[in-house]
Structure 1
Amino acid sequence: MKARSLTMASAALAVGIATLAAGCGTTTKTTTGTAPTTPKSGGTLTVALPPQTNLDWYLPINTASSDQIYNGWMDNQIYKPLIFLNDQYQIVWKSSIASKITYNKAGTVYHVFIGKNWKWSTGQPVTANDLMFTWNVVKAASASNAPTPWPFVGAGTGDIPSGIQSVVENNSHEVTFTLKQPANQEWFIYNGLIQLVPMPSAELNLYAKGPNPTAADWTKEVQYLGSIGSRPSTAQLASDGPFELVSATPNQTWIMKPNPDYGGYKPKIGKLDFVYEASSTAEFSALRQGQISLGYLDPSQLGAKAQLTSQGDRIVPAYTLGVYWTELNMWPGTSYASIFDQLYIRKALEMATDQQAIADQIYKGYAIPSYGPIPPVPKTKFYDPSAEPTIAYDPTAAKKLLEAHGWHLKNGVMINAQGKPLNLTFLWVTGSSSGQQIVQLMQQDWKAIGVQTTLKGVNFNQFLTDTSNKHSSAWQVATGSGWVYNGPGWLPTGGQLFSSTAPSGTGYANNEEDALIAATHKPYPSEADFLKAFFKYEAYTAQQLPMLWEPNFGSINVISANTHGAVKWGNPVTANPQYNHMWLSSSN
């Protein structure tokens, strides 16, 4: 999912220690007395959202503009995922609606079994019919004629929906998916089936009822769902997750209460609040006043961390399995698409971006320069350092590269033979001092090679709306976001980001890239054979620069003194926290 950089993980996942890089920051813990070990009931767990970020989507299937990780934090508490993955990217069946999934050796037939312990807050059981409803909604929302605000953001990822030959409801707790061609089983489960979060069909299905609804019925149904997806009342119809939505007030708070009908581990806390923050300064003030259970520090605030540790708060850095970037507007027909289509342009911009300075001076050492689609930290089997060689910061060489392709300086700006200047609108996410420092540093470095930029700051929600618009030339480059491999695709094979039809890309298209991505989707006799194909994709993508690579940062999370279970259940690598396992030692 799309994630905001800097405070991405720190806001609500807040908390687990992923693999820390040696020498990257420090972990500060202040202990007063013996920490309680017996979970208590009651209290309000308050989670700070990133600055100027609203939760604005109340269905578990997303459009391009609603596909942000923070909506996912809320929606995952309301709608139980079909498949839940832990920080080791292993399926946790007791936290999944599916009790098991079986498949044939060819990778063409998959049987999904629905656990019988799950039920909606209405008292009705979660059944295969709810999974079928989600499947049919996703299929209709992925169609070329899908009404606004669709298409479904996962369309084309994990063979959903175009790679599916048939879907059959065998009984109330079993559904069979048959593919058109063999697929890597792990890839289809992790990137395809995982997208199909069951929705309460009894409450949501208004227009596609009966034994044989038509395609027109389903189009009308997804049009209806699109119209109510942004309404909090939609999420209040039924929940099979650990919490129910009580209220939602934009620019203020989103309040949730425990779901008494939840079929898994029931929450100990009495209430879960997601809280809007106007700025990182406002959030720090709330931390000092003890108003936040799970929060974060902007790197610029590290000098004041003693104000928090002195009151017992813990500061815990964490890294996600994600990729952070500067996006390039390469959508066909936009004003600079033909320029950005040239690899040498992308390479010059990357060579003029000082990743080490960003990591050291702005992130204060809580970041690792990254040069490809897989970060070096946290350490995973997907990262091959030989596939992602360092791209040295060298503005002199970057300028020469542009000049070698016919560009020349005119009044300090590079211009090509056709008179087109490298004069770019640079979109960035407001609300963070460090975010502003990064974009100003990049502006300064790029100016040295003749690339002029006009900075345009917007809040995170508007940023997603702007960058997902395939027809807008109002921006050329954009920074302040990234992608965590936690949906639509969890296995990081890149199809959802870098293929020519990527639902979450920004217009990059390359036939060889497509072929290498497709090769990772095939079934292989061993993991070693799969990884061989994966590393070829990784190496090619790294050097192609479909986005400009940025450091993988460690979020600087703050856990209040009376909050427990946050490190164990924060799941920072997947950015999928389990708040129902957290508890408070005293009510707040």
Structure 2
Amino acid sequence: MDSLTGHLVPDNGGKPRRMGRRSRWLTAGATVGALALALSACGSSGNSSPSSSSGGGSKTTGASGSNTAGSHVAGVKGLFGTLPSAGTPTNGGTITIGQLKGDTPTYAMPIVPSAVDTVYTAPDFVDLYNQPLLWSPNGASVSIDPSLSMLQGSPKYTTSGGNQTVTFTLKSWKWSNGSPVTGANVVEMIDVAKAGIEESPANWGNYTQGQFPMNVTSASASGNTVTLHLKGTWNPTWFTDNQIELMYAFPPQWAVTKTGGPQVNYAVPANAKAIYNYLNKQASDLATFGTNPLWKISDGPMVLNSFTPANSDFTMTPNPDYVVKGHISKLSFITYTSDQAQFNNLQSGSLDIGQLSTDVVPELPRIEHNYSVYGLPDFGFTAGFYNFEDTTNNFDKVVGQLYFRQALAHLTDQAGDVRGVYHGAAAPSYGDIPAIPSNPYTPSNARQDPYPFSVSAASKLLSSHGWKVKPGGVTTCVKPGTASDECGAGIPAGQQLKFPYAYDTTNPANQNQSIALASEARQVGIDFQLQASTFNHLISVDNDVSAPSTKNKWAIVDFGGFTNSLYPTTNGIFNTGGSFNLGGYKSATANALINKTVYGTNPQAATNEASYMTKNLPVIFFPNPDLIDAVSNKIGGAQKSWLDMTQYTLTPEYWYIKK
């Protein structure tokens, strides 16, 4: 692989589909909800004057009587709904939280294989008892949370002979058995991870070729201080946020090669390989999750108490030695067969916390008297992906023209989609780094729409570049050539703007925003031939990287999008040869900017990269859907813990039952 992770995730009841780059930020599939979405509010058909939407989106639900409409929290830009109130905490009791069948943990160790690397295995399960060294997000902020991170201060970087050395020190944390977490525990994890990747890169979904842990030439520890010698030089901000955040401490009890066997020296490669193979086998055995002593040793907020293989229900209890002392006695995960089944239990008040899809927003009045319902988009982007290598009907030549991509951006009514497709539970997003959730990397040109919705602006772009625009028909090229007022290189006279457009029919939002865009495009004579398909088909077939034999069989696809790493870069998505460059986008400028993000020293590199992507439009950017949670009025907790949930991250150490 060139970059990112190769893992995908199963359906999860209407939540936005993403192909993920870090499991902590991974979002996942969508199934058709029980409620149909009304298309009448999806766009502003016939509107030929420019209009722009605010960076925060229109936060209204469209549901009469809904308490979430227009509700905001001070300092949380774009929040949908109302966060739970703090209340007065009590100690003890059980909090129940819903999960959907198929969206449950399937692995028990942090080095999660690509095939099973999902948010439901990592931050919703493993990270609760084997915590990464750096914790993110920090509430609504896409940043490291220092209070929940093991590092003491910032890592120190030095360079000598073209190679870097990074040194960091751990705080004085403890395992749940009372023994200290040491630097040697981090070195253990690195050696075991290397052994697993040497067997196969697919053994860790978070592995990117040439990056951690294979860019660590040697690792050593002295007490709580870890020293890593790296191959080459890397952007320190990128390495800290995207590489150190992948690191864990492994308890010494994991340095074994068989059940009941003695601890062995993990620094010996043969031993490290045997350790990995043993842990991998144990971590794949659902039947023993709840009883295996390996998973009872925790440096995170919780300790795994029980696991029911038949339905994947599981319980956890607080780690008494964790840095934050928990209030509750038990956290119980309950599996539901469908999103509707979970919603039914919310209506009856028999579930404390549920995670909802935007499909059910019109039905929120049924539960708002007993629950605080809120949402925020996760850190990533959704898009229609162009196939720059599709030569059928000269699509590659047409889409290679920036003015054509600009015209489609003007035809994307993000404000209308937020209102009609997502019922207000989404935020406009104009580039790969969105303005919501709050983060320090969004470029200025992505904070407001650089290509505001305007049919007339789209029409003018086409006509001024040699096209005869035929509203309701098919626009054709009447002025071929490469001059500024001509159609562009390789586009012949008579070329028609008539191309296939595939969308994920199992996701109502993807389907409806695609239909809305096609309707607007017809007003300037762009004829999109809509094709309904499934998520799994789209990402496996409409993909020039994994399926080069079909690269002339698709033009545009809307399957969902990608989730950003903490220090965001489109390395692997939009760089030439990237392992997730689905449509073969090529730009020397993009390549150079991406390289500066990963290898340079400028902390603003990610922003500069994103600014170019926002302007150059390698994809059609769509709104980012909210991830919606419902929390019983009986439950309280720190505000940031509820905001963590909108990024698929659980911090139950802050939760409690109110007095």
Q: Secondary structure at the match of 2:229?
A: strand
Q: Distance in 2 between matches of 1:478 and 1:58?
A: 34
How is 1:39-438 mapped onto 2 (pairs within 5 angstroms)? Answer: 39-49=90-100, 53-71=103-121, 72-85=123-136, 86-87=138-139, 88-89=141-142, 91-104=144-157, 108-119=164-175, 125-142=180-197, 146-147=199-200, 149-150=202-203, 152-156=205-209, 159-164=211-216, 166-200=217-251, 202-203=253-254, 206=257, 210=265, 213-214=268-269, 229-232=283-286, 233=288, 236=292, 237-238=294-295, 239-240=297-298, 241-245=300-304, 246-249=306-309, 252-260=311-319, 262-310=321-369, 312-327=370-385, 342=400, 350=409, 353-386=412-445, 389-393=449-453, 397=458, 422-423=499-500, 425-427=502-504, 429-430=506-507, 433-434=508-509, 436-438=511-513
1:20 is displaced (CA, Å) by 9.6
1:81 is displaced (CA, Å) by 1.4
What residue ranges of structure 2 are gaps of 5+ in the alignment? 18-23, 26-53, 61-69, 72-80, 478-490
Q: Tell whether 2:47 aligns with 1:24.
A: no
In 1, are the aligned partners of 2:502 and 2:558 still within 8 Å (CA)?
A: no
1:404–1:92 distance in 2 versus 1, CA, 3 Å: closer
Q: Distance in 2 between matches of 1:420 and 1:439?
A: 17
Q: Secondary structure at the match of 2:527?
A: coil
In 2, are the aligned partners of 1:65 and 1:465 still within 8 Å (CA)?
A: no
User: Which residue number corresponds to residue 614 of structure 2?
Assistant: 542
Structure 1 residues 289-309: Cα deviation after superposition (integer angstroms, max 9, x where no partner): 113222245444333322212
In 2, are the aligned partners of 1:428 and 1:479 still within 8 Å (CA)?
A: no
User: Which residue number corresponds to residue 455 of structure 1?
Assistant: 532
Structure 1 residues 229-287: Cα deviation after superposition (integer angstroms, max 9, x where no partner): 5443468522422223321547x443121154543224332332344444443332221
Segment of structure 1 superposing worse, 233-242 or 559-568: 233-242
**TM-score normalised per structure 2:** 0.69
How is 1:418-567 mapped onto 2 (pairs within 5 angstroms)? Answer: 422-423=499-500, 425-427=502-504, 429-430=506-507, 433-434=508-509, 436-442=511-517, 449-458=526-535, 470-472=545-547, 473=550, 479=558, 481-485=560-564, 489-495=565-571, 497-500=573-576, 502=578, 506=582, 508=585, 510-521=587-598, 524=601, 530-531=603-604, 533-565=605-637, 567=639
Q: Tell whether 2:640 aligns with 1:585.
A: no
In 2, are the aligned partners of 1:359 and 1:366 still within 8 Å (CA)?
A: yes
Structure 1 residues 28-73: Cα deviation after superposition (integer angstroms, max 9, x where no partner): 6699xx9741333111331345x86343343323444544333322
Q: Distance in 2 between matches of 1:298 and 1:110?
A: 42
Q: Secondary structure at the match of 2:432?
A: coil
Q: Secondary structure at the match of 1:69?
A: coil
What residue ranges of structure 1 are gaps of 5+ in the alignment? 14-18
1:147–1:520 distance in 2 versus 1, CA, 3 Å: closer
Q: Secondary structure at the match of 1:554?
A: strand
1:403–1:92 distance in 2 versus 1, CA, 3 Å: closer
Segment of structure 1 superposing worse, 228-237 or 463-472: 463-472
Q: Distance in 2 between matches of 1:266 and 1:469?
A: 50
In 2, are the aligned partners of 1:373 and 1:541 still within 8 Å (CA)?
A: yes
Segment of structure 1 superposing worse, 286-295 or 442-451: 442-451
In 2, are the aligned partners of 1:149 and 1:226 still within 8 Å (CA)?
A: no
Structure 1 residues 473-512: Cα deviation after superposition (integer angstroms, max 9, x where no partner): 5995654544444xxx311233354434656653655443
1:561 is displaced (CA, Å) by 1.2
In 2, are the aligned partners of 1:429 and 1:479 still within 8 Å (CA)?
A: no
Residue identity (%): 18
State the one-letter code of the partner of 1:254.
D
Q: Secondary structure at the match of 1:530?
A: coil
Q: Distance in 2 between matches of 1:134 and 1:227?
A: 16
1:490–1:426 distance in 2 versus 1, CA, 3 Å: same
Q: Computing the radius of gyration over CA atoms, which structure comes out larger, 1 or 2?
A: 2
In 1, are the aligned partners of 2:510 and 2:559 still within 8 Å (CA)?
A: yes
Structure 1 residues 159-196: Cα deviation after superposition (integer angstroms, max 9, x where no partner): 524544x3332335332012344444332211111111
Q: Distance in 1 between matches of 2:91 and 2:391?
A: 58
State the one-letter code of the partner of 1:513.
A
Q: Distance in 1 between matches of 2:469 and 2:196?
A: 47
In 2, are the aligned partners of 1:559 and 1:566 still within 8 Å (CA)?
A: no
Structure 1 residues 102-131: Cα deviation after superposition (integer angstroms, max 9, x where no partner): 41465933223233432155x654333332
Q: Which runs of 4+ in 1 moved over 6 A?
A: 1-6, 329-334, 336-341, 402-409, 411-421, 462-469
Q: Distance in 1 between matches of 2:55 and 2:590?
A: 31
In 1, are the aligned partners of 2:409 and 2:451 still within 8 Å (CA)?
A: yes
In 2, are the aligned partners of 1:413 and 1:422 still within 8 Å (CA)?
A: no
In 2, are the aligned partners of 1:371 and 1:550 still within 8 Å (CA)?
A: yes
1:44–1:553 distance in 2 versus 1, CA, 3 Å: same
Q: Tell whether 2:15 aligns with 1:7.
A: yes
In 2, are the aligned partners of 1:571 and 1:577 still within 8 Å (CA)?
A: no
1:327 is displaced (CA, Å) by 4.5
Structure 1 residues 403-444: Cα deviation after superposition (integer angstroms, max 9, x where no partner): 9799999x98999989998445534554xx545534554566
Q: Secondary structure at the match of 1:570?
A: helix
State the one-letter code of the partner of 1:127.
T
In 2, are the aligned partners of 1:328 and 1:478 still within 8 Å (CA)?
A: yes
Q: Distance in 2 between matches of 1:163 and 1:67?
A: 22
Q: Distance in 2 between matches of 1:470 and 1:550?
A: 23
State the one-letter code of the partner of 1:283.
Q
Q: Distance in 2 between matches of 1:44 and 1:228?
A: 28
